[in-house]
């Protein structure tokens, strides 16, 4: 009886060892499999500076509250703005004027944050914060609307140098 138990235990141990080796081999093969598309520098990102997340979120919160000067205090002297139908390199003063005009048309604004991440290129030359959120607002005439946003903010020396925004408008939205 002891021999049968020992034999059974040996089979279980050997079986488990083979499964873990097979699993490790499968994981290595998956990690080295070629991608469907090639780029010059694949897998070039690592976790970035969490202080950049704080800067991005504080600026967005200040804009939500209507404090435009605080919203853009951490922007560089010149910023590249890329949005749907709009791309310009603006001085910080011009950017402030533009957003003062835009924000003045909004009575109430709310942000529902979904997620955020800070990334840095492994060579240290690029730093980004990406924000995913829903923006809801009521304009001065009482019209309510919302969009889903994904913002990529590029940083250099703790200052925002690029703001790239992609939006998804919800069904029923009409541009008048």
How far is the C-alpha of 28 from the C-alpha of 19, rounded, in Å?
14
Grade residue 16 by pLDDT with cuts at 50, 70 and 90: low
**pLDDT value at 7 more than 50:** no
For the chain, the DSSP string reads -HHHHHHHHHHHHHHHHHHHHHHHHHHHHHHHSPPSS--SSTT-EEE--HHHHHHHHHHHHHHHTT-HHHHTTTEEEEEEEEETTEEEEEEHHHHHHHHHHHHHTEEEEEEEEEEEEEEEETTSS-EEEEEEEEEEEEETTS-EEEEEEEEEEEEETTEEEEEEEEEEEPTT----
Of the ranges 27-41, 53-67, 70-84, 158-172, which one carries the lowest mean pLDDT score? 27-41
Q: How is residue 119 written in tokens? A: 């990334």
Choose from 19-28, 91-100, 166-175 the range with maximum mean pLDDT.
Answer: 91-100
pTM of the complete model beyond 0.85: no
Using alpha carbons, list the distances in angstroms from residue 99 to 1, 78, 103, 170, 175.
83, 15, 6, 23, 20
Q: What is the mean pLDDT of residues 97-123?
A: 96
Grade residue 173 by pLDDT with cuts at 50, 70 and 90: low
pLDDT at position 142: 95
**pLDDT value at 41 more than 90:** no
Cβ neighbours of residue 89 closer than 8 Å, sequence gap 6 or more = 78, 79, 80, 81
Beta bridge partners of 91: 78
Q: What is the pLDDT of residues 118-171, one digit of tens each?
A: 999 999 999 999 999 999 999 999 999 999 999 999 999 999 999 999 999 987
**Average pLDDT of every residue of the chain:** 85
**pLDDT value at 111 more than 60:** yes
């Amino acid at each position: 009886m002891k021999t049968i138990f020992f034999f059974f235990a040996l089979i279980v141990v050997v079986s488990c060892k083979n499964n873990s080796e097979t699993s490790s081999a499968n994981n290595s093969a998956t990690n080295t499999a070629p991608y469907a598309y090639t780029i010059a520098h694949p897998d070039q990102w690592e976790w970035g500076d969490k202080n950049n997340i704080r800067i991005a979120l504080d600026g967005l919160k200040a804009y939500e509250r209507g404090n435009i000067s605080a919203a853009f205090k951490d922007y560089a002297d010149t910023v590249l703005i890329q949005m749907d139908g709009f791309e310009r390199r603006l001085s910080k003063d011009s950017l402030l004027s533009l957003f003062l005009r835009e924000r003045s048309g909004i009575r109430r604004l709310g942000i529902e944050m979904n997620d955020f991440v800070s990334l840095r290129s492994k060579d240290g030359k690029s730093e980004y914060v990406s924000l995913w959120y829903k923006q809801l607002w009521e304009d001065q005439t009482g019209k309510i609307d919302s969009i889903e946003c994904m913002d990529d903010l590029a940083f250099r020396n703790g200052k925002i140098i690029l703001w790239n925004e992609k939006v998804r408008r919800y069904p029923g939205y009409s541009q008048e």
